[in-house]
Amino acid sequence: MDAYAFAGGTAVVTGAASGIGEALAVQLAERGSSLALVDRDADRLAAVADRIRAAHPRLEVETYVVDLADEAATDALGATLAGAHPGTTLLVNNAGVALGGRFDQVTLEEFDWVLAINFRAVVRLTAALLPVLKANPGSHLVNVSSVFGIFAPPGQAAYAASKFAVRGFSESLRHELADDGVGVTVVHPGGIRTRIAESARLGSGVDPDEVAAGREQMGKLLRIPPEKAAAQIVAAIEARRPRLLIGLSARLPDLLVRLRPGTYWRLIARGVAARGGAAR
């Protein structure tokens, strides 16, 4: 498959108001992609779009404020994007949320909220835009999983389930779309410095005393700048890489899971305790 061509196409990016999504939007525009940016934070999204428009006045930059937890709204968004942007050649399913707490500390409603945004929205938007991608030869699909789509730590049952699902969905699609000339990359970020820790929800059964300590611990390993992560994703898109692990905090667990599939957690937990943190 030839290298992906950024210039002239439209890139749809979800979770574009901050973090990796914002950095991706900026870097894709620098490479000549028009943009359709999606987020639930209207103010932040507008600021990102305005900054890109000022820097690249010839590019089309549209914004869509949608809560991807709302399945009807997500379906409507997919239909709108497919109709309004027939030149879409890149879809980046980046939006994600986190929920802390053991399985017995979260409600089924809280668990389902994570699945709705992290997995079902990925499926729904991919389904809506896949005919457009297939109609534009050389298109590409990026689904952002997580290091927690490689290993599953305690206290992250909902998040890990959603990110493992994204991984499996992406790998199957990669094989299905190969003959259509549509590339697929699944991304496993490690400790990226985004807002996911500060915006994470905690299960309703989590002891309040654990909240501050848990967030402080989570933040300690979020060290990789989102701009650096975005640059690696852009390079992976161009090269049509099937899989991208970002950071040592993703590459080392990937190796440990391969070597110790049933007992990896004891080793990872020991390393996390020694460094005083957790991963994205």
Beta carbons of 137 and 88 less than 8 angstroms apart? no
Q: In Å, how far are 14, 21, 197 from 58, measured between CA atoms? A: 22, 21, 36
What is the phi/psi pair of residue 5, to 5°?
Answer: -100, 115
Element (H, E) at 122: helix 121-135
208 CB burial (10 A radius; 0-12, 13-18, 19+) = exposed
159 assigned to active site: yes
Catalytic residue among 4, 64, 159, 264, which? Answer: 159
Query: What single string gives the DSSP state of each residue in 158-191?
Result: HHHHHHHHHHHHHHHHHHHHGGGT-EEEEEEE-S
Residues designated catalytic: 159
